[in-house]
A = this chain, B = another copy of it.
Amino acid sequence: MRAAVIHGERDVRLEDVPTPTLYTGSGSDGLDAVVRVVAACVCGSDLWPYRGVTPTNEPRRIGHEFVGVVEEVGENVRTIRPGDFVIAPFYDCDMTCVNCRNGVSTSCLHGGWWGSEDRIGGFADGGQGEYVRVPHADGSLVATPEYPRAELIPSLLTLSDVMGTGHHAAVSAGVTEGSTVVVVGDGAVGLCAVLASARLGASRIVAMSRHETRQALAREFGATDIVAERGDAGVAAVKELFDGIGADCVLEAVGTKESMDQAIRSARPGGMVGYVGVPNGGPELPVRPLFQSNIGVNGGVAPVRNYVEDLLQDVWSGAIEPGRVFDLEVPLTDIAEAYAAMDERRAIKTLVRP
């Protein structure tokens, strides 16, 4: 089959790789499945190796968001069946271990990451390709009620990562009916965080964005206010909107020291920052201002699998359309363009069709 392979900075190629099969080697558990990918996409975090921010020491498979159709299942798979249309989270997990049961499937005791070997020695393919072998199929995958209409597929694909991640930011910050919210970051995750906050009943949602098209989508997703300023001016603009003190909940969806600083300073005393931007370079959190104003920090790598069933209902009914974050679609053969368009900020998020 053909799948994306990253070789180095700004060098992602479509290559012939082995077509996955169920794992039958030593230690096989009969719990895996093979999925034919219907739609995949490029993640903001894929841009880090693409831009050389994190080094690529040897060519490796890339991609971690996909939806598709189950081709084959292992002998011990109980709920997922061939022919099912399925959503995969950006990692695999069994949904039975204590961490999965606690709602934190990204810390699954037996889980792993796409594009690498799983714990029994089989290979779990990256999502940017024609097929993927999926460990723990009953845990990792969620089947839709039936084969979806074409227009639903982009929104279903966001449940792999960005919509679940935006939702996690909102849940981590404690967004609920009547909350005031600020979202720092206008990428696909930030925009989904706006949508998630509106869905959870926030009374006022400020999107911090300098890009007109993203501002417009933020408004359609439920933002009530836009703040284009950053730094001190951004903090002042936010405080002015909220009694001079800041917002109840601030959702951080970037991952830089600057964006986290912006987030902390935008929260009111007693407020909570929900953060899902992968910390870029590991900025430390400044404990003094957090302590003095009782501002909490909560979040992390989003356990999106735990949210799929809940969010799926609203996607299926059309109540939310997170798939609108996709503003470019390319065939898998143009995978290089899928990356370049996001790298150059010509696209918010690129959908890829094998």
Contact = CB atoms under 8 A, between A and B. Distances in A.
Interface of A: 98-99, 102-104, 106-107, 172, 243, 245, 260, 268-270, 272, 275, 278-279, 282-288, 290-301, 303
B300 A285 contact: no
Contact of A301 (B279, B285, B291): B291
Contact of A285 (B172, B270, B285): B285
A99 B296 CA distance: 15
A287 B283 contact: yes
Contacts of A107: 269-270, 293-294
A298 B102 CA distance: 19
A283 B286 CA distance: 8
A270 B103 CA distance: 8
Contacts of A285: 284-285, 287, 290, 297
| Leading 4 A-B pairs by shortest Cβ distance | A296-B298, A107-B269, A284-B284, A294-B300
Contacts of A295: 300
A292 to B, nearest CB: 6
B300 A291 contact: yes
A300 B286 CA distance: 12
A279 B288 contact: yes
Given A296-B172, A297-B298, A287 B284 contact: yes
